[in-house]
């Protein structure tokens, strides 16, 4: 038995709530709840499933597509992320993540 947390996810301007066990990725748990989020590689490298943590604690050692700096700002890859508390997350952050990670020479 693992702990289960309540996740509020903002996607397409709507907030939906589902529960995620600590040993299931947030992307998977959302899918089980019938919430379709963007995804592709499912292994933490492509950033299609990028999200941003608004509140709560995340565990994502395999989210390789996000730099440590951006992880500190709350970015994560939901296919490689596990909840460690109740959380609020903004989904579909791929463009924002890309801009911050690769658009850094523009400022
Ligand atoms: S689906 Fe590719 S990083 Fe999550």
Condensed to tens digits (0 to 9), the pLDDT of residues 24-58 reads: 999 999 999 999 999 999 999 999 999 999 999 99
- Domain holding 12: CATH number? 3.10.20.30
Q: Is the pTM above the cut of 0.75?
A: yes
Mutate to test the pocket of ligand 1, among 28, 36, 42, 89 (most ligand atoms within 8 A of CB): 42
Q: Is the CB of 4 under 6 A from ligand 1?
A: no
Domain with 24, as residue range(s), is 4-106
**Apex CA 65: angle with CA 69 and CA 46, to 5°?**
150
Q: Is the CB of 51 under 6 A from ligand 1?
A: no
Report yes or no: 91 and 14 within 8 Å, Cβ to Cβ: no
**In terms of DSSP H, where are the helices of 3-107?**
26-32, 68-72, 94-102
Report yes or no: 29 and 21 within 8 Å, Cβ to Cβ: yes
Condensed to tens digits (0 to 9), the pLDDT of residues 46-105 reads: 999 999 999 999 999 999 999 999 999 999 999 999 999 999 999 999 999 999 988 865
Number of separate domains in the chain: 1
The radius of gyration of the chain's CA atoms, rounded to the nearest angstrom, is 13
Give the number of the atom of ligand 1 that is nearest the alpha carbon of residue 44: 3
């Amino acid at each position: 038995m693992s702990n289960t947390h309540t996740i509020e996810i903002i996607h397409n301007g709507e907030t939906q709530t589902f529960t995620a066990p600590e040993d299931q990725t947030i992307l998977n748990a959302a899918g089980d709840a019938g919430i379709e989020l963007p995804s592709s590689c499912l292994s933490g490298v492509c950033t299609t499933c990028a999200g941003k943590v608004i509140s709560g604690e995340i565990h994502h050692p395999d989210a390789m597509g996000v730099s440590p700096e951006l992880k500190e700002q709350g970015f994560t890859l939901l296919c490689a992320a596990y909840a460690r508390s109740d959380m609020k997350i903004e989904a579909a952050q791929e463009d924002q993540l890309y801009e911050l990670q690769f658009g850094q020479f523009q400022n």
